[in-house]
Structure 1
Amino acid sequence: MAANDSDTYVTYFCATCNGNNTETEAKAYCAKCDSCFCDGCVRLHSQGFQNHTTDGPEKMEKWPVAMATQEFLENCEVHKGKKFALFCEDHSQLCCHTCDLSHRQCSKVTPIANTTLSAADDQQLSAEINTILDQLMKLQTYWKSNLESLQVSYKKRLLDVKRMRERINAALDDLEKTTLKEMDEVKASWNASLMLDVDTCSRLRSELTRLSDAVQEIGTKNKKNAELAFIAFQKSEYI
């Protein structure tokens, strides 16, 4: 069995080629041989069995159920390697012989071989399956549309975030430049003021040191020195 985007179709393989470990798609079925054949093998079959009638793809309703389809339907999903053999009517559940162990207390467990499906039931099943397939297709289209819308919305939001980041970065750059400029101006102003204070302190310290030395040198031994001492005292008052 192979799957396409919206359709599921069955592939039949040529029995002759398959016997030679080659998978070749079958193009005809012989009911007497109960085998399918590819284009090349069906010609050889027709030559060897001229009284056999083969049916092509246009009469596929006469072909048997493909092995892949048969395995898909018969195999138990719970117990691998087991095939459905029973039907529990109490639970409306298909059962293999291993599943049957859980249905021993059920009132009616019937072998599948004893069940029948009317033509009306078959038609109803096909109609229900087609309805469900249509609904699933609509749901798939709907969710695919939502997925595409999500991708568009995601890309738009991602672009918005990147643009916002760029604006924030630009604002931070401007703030950094303005702040650094203001800090440089404050630093320069304070630097000039502090340098002036340092120079003034240095000058005053130098003058006071010189004045101190002068006071120590002149003393008050005579009138002249007394005058110099007075001058030194007055200078110290306004330094």
Structure 2
Amino acid sequence: MKWPLSQKMETSLLICIIHKCEQITMYCADHSQLCCCKCVELNHRLCVQVTPLPQAAGGKSTNFKNLSVSTENTLSQLKQCQTYQEDRIKSLKVSYKEHERLIVDGDARVNIVSYLRECETSTVNTTHKT
């Protein structure tokens, strides 16, 4: 009640995503799922820790400021990882282009062609001798 929500938003948060006509009233700790009465009846009958939402929420202290700081820290770390990976991709592309240039234009191509000619000559000479 401290954070005003639109009626549509509040309704969408409290309606079961499986049973669209049912309101979420229970929490299954065994599966970490919010449930309506039909969900409990169909899927959580054997679960030990199914409790009404008010009871499940009781005693839970949520420090949203710490959560926000933690989320921001995680986001910052993810951005650093993303930047690092993007830099690595750029470096690999430069390295790839350099190696490609060496193969196409450089000595590597000449050496490979020369080696293949030597193999061909050796094979032809060996075949003619026998």
The structure number with the bigger radius of gyration is 1
TM-score by length of 2: 0.56
Which residue number in structure 1 is paired with residue 128 of structure 2? none
User: Per-residue deviation at 1:167?
Assistant: 0.6
Cα contact 2:25–2:37 (8 A) shared by 1: yes
Q: Aligned with 1:87: secondary structure?
A: strand
Runs (5+) with no aligned partner, structure 2: 118-130
Q: Aligned equivalents of 1:63 and 1:108: distance in 2?
A: 29
Runs (5+) with no aligned partner, structure 1: 1-60, 180-239
- CA shift in 2, pair 1:169/1:88, >3 Å: closer
Aligned length: 111
**2:10 counterpart (52, 70, 75):** 70
> Superposed, which structure 2 residues align to 1:156-175 within 5 Å?
156-165=94-103, 166-168=105-107, 171=110
Q: Aligned equivalents of 2:54 and 2:12: distance in 1?
A: 18
Q: Output one character per residue of 1:132-174: Cα deviation in whole Å (capped at 9) or x when no partner.
A: 41243133213211221222122212222222121147626x9
What is the percent sequence identity of the aligned residues?
Answer: 23
TM-score by length of 1: 0.35
Bigger RCO of structures 1 and 2 (CA < 8 A, at least 6 apart): 2
Q: Aligned equivalents of 1:80 and 1:160: distance in 2?
A: 59
RMSD: 3.8
Q: Aligned equivalents of 2:94 and 2:71: distance in 1?
A: 34
Q: Aligned with 1:121: secondary structure?
A: coil
Q: Aligned with 1:94: secondary structure?
A: strand
- CA shift in 2, pair 1:168/1:70, >3 Å: farther
Which residue number in structure 2 is paired with residue 106 of structure 1? 47
Which residue number in structure 1 is paired with residue 88 of structure 2? 150
Cα contact 2:28–2:44 (8 A) shared by 1: yes
